[in-house]
Each structure stands twice: as structure tokens, then as C-alpha cells.
Amino acid sequence: MLAHGMVHTYELSIPIFVSIWLVEFDVLSLGFVEFGVTEATLGLVVTAGYGLFGVGALPGGVLVDRIGSDRLITVCLFGMAASFVLLGLSPNLLVVAIALLLWGAAASVYHPAGLTLLSKGVHERGTGFAYHGIAGNVGTGLGPLLTAILLLFLDWTVVAILLAVPALAAGAYAVRAQFDETAAVDDVAKATPNGGGDDESDGGADAGNTDAGGDSRADSVGSLAEFSVETRRLFAGAFALVFVVVMASGLYYRGFLTFLPNLLEGLPGFEPVPLTSLLPPVVTDALGVQPGSTRSINPERYFYSGLLIVGVFGQYLGGKLSDRIPVERGLAGGFGLLAVLALVFLPAANAGIVPLLAVGAVLGAALFLVQPFYQATVAEYSPAGTRGLSYGFTYLGVFGVGALGGGIAGTILTYATPAVLFATLAVFAAVASGIGFYLLRRRADAGATTR
């Protein structure tokens, strides 16, 4: 939970910095060629870091099955701290890009490590996913909020370095933390007469699933040949459809959030408010804010943070529901709601601040409601022995392929309109919802055949 909070603190603080970098930097120089800084340019820079965050999840998943979760989580924490120190020392946008790549590489191993730990070490898996998700949402919401508050008084470079401190402290704790990574699997195996070899030995993860197949206590991936075999095994069945769902989720998530503060700052009610107009001179003097200072409160940053904080409730509700209803039904309903919200977001924004707050609150909850459902769906459609590999592919889809959402959003905002962007997001969600309906019908048909 602690590491999950750190990962998303950094991940979702980056869009706040994006709005600053659009003003701070004029060009991206690669030595032999220069590019002007636009939403499209920054979208590609951010996509590179976010993309590695996802792409690295696949080798990270293989490593989890080989060496366990604890070492990888520790490396993740120290690596993220180092990346934000480098970010704070960046003299130009190229070094910013390198720092984001370092962050992406370090953060990429977390989700396969953390989720494998939960799926194999916690008996009440849905509830475990919910609490784990809440910790991530605390980081998701409070990280950007803390960043926005610090930016009132400090330069962004100083803020980036200060943000590295919590990960250093968490890494120091992770070095000493000890836990049983396979408690749930081992306990069920002991209670199973055949030693836990049937398909339900992972707490029922594969119950009713004809695609996971084989022994849920299968050996971890230890060679390229085994990787190839297990990959074909995963994608031979309905896991391939689940992979499309997680890709669509990632594209929606990243496409919506990357430029959200920038989108909001031009709307009525989001005008910057100078600190000197809000606070008495005795307070501004004590804070070092001089008369005529350009430091101001940017409402869009706090709306963005608030939307993410609301996601805590969606994450918790999704986790609880995933223990009570078919996960496929949750996918269909949750992504269907996201499709509708994408279509009504801009009309609500144009209608005024109150409708925008209402739609934003529902969207913030729905954006994270779907996460426990697809996490639990992956567990149902994969064997325990290669659970790390399956979550590696999951977060390759969510954060690797999904990182393209930032580039897509930046390109659309540079060459088209916000309306085109939100229509595109609605298509992503509709695809995921349609697959959820298909999997739900497939489950019902399988149940009818069994009866």
C-alpha cells in the first residue's frame, strides 16, 4: 500500500508539471535537431516516460515469478526517488525526458510485484485489491494536491526534489519489511488433499474459468522458451480479450488525465487568483510573497486533485463489488458509464462550474471503479504460477500501450479540438464495455452448458 501510494503520487504529479513546462521551455533540443514545445511535443515526452512505466511491467512480471516481490518493490522506491531528484536538477526539456524515462523504468516493476503479492498472499483478494487501490488513490489525489500547494511558494525544480523524500523513506522501510508472499496459496494447498494441484488452489481464482487452464501452482517462467509457451497459453483464450480491455482503460485514463489541468485553465471560473489578493500583507510577507508577485492559486490544479481524490470511493466500491458480482458485469457497466461521461464532460463544463463539479466527481469515481474489476478479471483468467507474467502483460497494456493516450491527447489538442479528444475517449470506453458484455454472456453460456 505504501509503495502503491508513492507510485501514483509521482505518476499523477507529472500532469501538473506539464502545464508549467509548456511555459518554461521553448524548444526540445536533441543536439542535431530542435522541436518547438507544444502539447504534441510534451505529449510525446510524457508518453516516453509513461510508456516505459508500462513496457517495463512485462519483464518486471517475469522477475516477480523468479525472485519475488519484496526486492523489486524496494528497487522501485529508490529508483523513483532518484528520478525526481534528477527531474529537479533538469536544465532543459531533454533532461526532463531522461528523468521521466528513469521514473518509468523504476515504477514499471511495482504493479506486477504488488498485485502478485496480493493475489497470492491475501485470502480476501477483492477486499485486498480495494485497500491497495485506496492507498494508490491517496497518492493519486494527495500527491498532486501537495505538489500544487508547494508550487504556490517554491519553484517547480525544488518541488520535484522535495517529492523524492517520501520514496526514500518508504524505500528504507521496504529494506526491513518481511512478509509471506504466498500465504494464501500455501494455506489452500495444505488444505487440499492433492497438494493444491487443482485449478482452484489459488483461493478460487480460476473458478469457472476455462482459459486459465493447467495447474495454478505452475512453475514460474525461467527461460525464453517457457516465456513463449506461457504467453501463448495466456493469449490462446479469453485473456486476449481482457488484454484489449486493459489497453482501452489505459488509453482512456492517460488521454483524459495528461492534459486535464491545461484543458481546464481556460474555462470560466478557473482564472488564476493572485495570493496577494487573498491573504493579508502580514501573511504574504511572512511567506516571502512580495506585492506584484505572479504567484497565484490555479483552480484547475485543485479540481484535478479533487477529481483524483474522489477516485478513492470508486476504487473501494469497485473492490467490494468485485467480490459480489461477476467481474465481467463490472467491466461492462463501469466502462459504459465512462463512455457516457466522456460525452457529457464538455457540455457540463460549458454549462457552468456546478455541473462540471458534479460530472467531475462521478467521472473521478468511475475512472477508478473499473480498476479492481479488471485486476480481478486478470486473476480469473490466469494461473497462479505465472500470475506475475499475467500482471506484467496487464500493465504493459494499461501503462505501456495506454501511455499512447497522452500522445494522442496532445496531438488532438494541437491539431483538432477538445470535443474530438473526448469523443475518442468515449470510443475507447465503449470498446472495453462491449468486451465486458461479451465475456459476461460467455460466462452465462458456459454455466448453462455445465448445468
- Split at pLDDT 50, 70, 90, the class of 222 is low
The larger pLDDT score, comparing residue 407 to residue 380, is at 407
Where is average pLDDT lowest: 26-40, 251-265, 288-302, 404-418? 288-302
**DSSP bridge partners of 35:** 28
The larger pLDDT score, comparing residue 206 to residue 317, is at 317
Most confident of 138-147, 201-210, 217-226: 138-147
Element (H, E) at 154: none
For 368, half-sphere exposure in the C-beta direction (CA atoms, 13 angstrom radius) is 32
> What span, in angstroms and rounded, lies between the C-alpha atoms of 311 and 256?
14
- Split at pLDDT 50, 70, 90, the class of 184 is low
Grid cell at residue 341: 461521461
pLDDT value of position 450: 52
pLDDT value of position 67: 77
> What span, in angstroms and rounded, lies between the C-alpha atoms of 216 and 198?
7
> What span, in angstroms and rounded, lies between the C-alpha atoms of 438 and 440?
5
pLDDT greater than 70 at residue 202: no
pLDDT value of position 216: 39
> What span, in angstroms and rounded, lies between the C-alpha atoms of 165 and 81?
7
* Residue pair 60/400 in contact by the 8 Å Cβ criterion: no
Element (H, E) at 443: helix 418-450
Question: End-to-end alpha-carbon separation of the chain, Å?
Answer: 41
* Residue pair 48/97 in contact by the 8 Å Cβ criterion: yes
Grid cell at residue 47: 508518453
Where is average pLDDT lowest: 76-85, 221-230, 293-302? 221-230
Grid cell at residue 150: 508547494
* Residue pair 395/112 in contact by the 8 Å Cβ criterion: yes
Report the Cα 366 to chain-centroid distance in Å.
14
Place of cell 457540463: 348
pLDDT tens per residue, range 349-381: 988 899 999 999 999 999 999 988 998 888 888
> What span, in angstroms and rounded, lies between the C-alpha atoms of 313 and 395?
22
Most confident of 42-46, 148-152, 259-263, 334-338: 334-338
- Non-local CB neighbours of 335 within 8 Å, separated by 6+ positions: 245, 248, 249, 370, 429, 430, 432, 433, 436
pLDDT value of position 217: 40
**Rounded mean pLDDT, 134-152:** 86
pLDDT value of position 448: 56
pLDDT greater than 90 at residue 163: yes
pLDDT greater than 60 at residue 129: yes
pLDDT greater than 50 at residue 208: no
- When the pLDDT of each residue in the chain is averaged and rounded to a whole number, the result is 82
Exposure string over 425-434, b if 16+ CB within 10 A, otherwise e: bbebbbbbbb
Measured between alpha carbons, how far is residue 27 from residues 24, 291, 327 in Å?
10, 32, 46
pLDDT greater than 70 at residue 195: no
pLDDT value of position 201: 28
For 22, half-sphere exposure in the C-beta direction (CA atoms, 13 angstrom radius) is 20
Where is average pLDDT lowest: 170-179, 333-342, 345-354? 170-179
pLDDT greater than 70 at residue 10: yes
The larger pLDDT score, comparing residue 302 to residue 185, is at 302
Grid cell at residue 324: 459480489
- Split at pLDDT 50, 70, 90, the class of 177 is confident
pLDDT tens per residue, range 97-114: 999 999 999 998 898 888
The larger pLDDT score, comparing residue 288 to residue 58, is at 58
* Residue pair 89/96 in contact by the 8 Å Cβ criterion: no
The percent of residues above 90 in pLDDT, for the chain, comes to 36
Going by C-alpha positions, the residue among 197, 231, 238, 192 that lies closest to residue 215 is 197
Measured between alpha carbons, how far is residue 138 from residues 4, 28, 78, 108 in Å?
9, 33, 20, 19
> What span, in angstroms and rounded, lies between the C-alpha atoms of 123 and 133?
16
pLDDT greater than 70 at residue 212: no
Indicate the burial class of 288 (C-beta count within 10 angstroms; 0-12, 13-18, 19 or more).
exposed
> What span, in angstroms and rounded, lies between the C-alpha atoms of 110 and 7?
8
> What span, in angstroms and rounded, lies between the C-alpha atoms of 108 and 103?
8
- Split at pLDDT 50, 70, 90, the class of 449 is low
* Residue pair 87/142 in contact by the 8 Å Cβ criterion: no
Going by C-alpha positions, the residue among 382, 380, 370 that lies closest to residue 428 is 370
Going by C-alpha positions, the residue among 136, 135, 145 that lies closest to residue 304 is 145
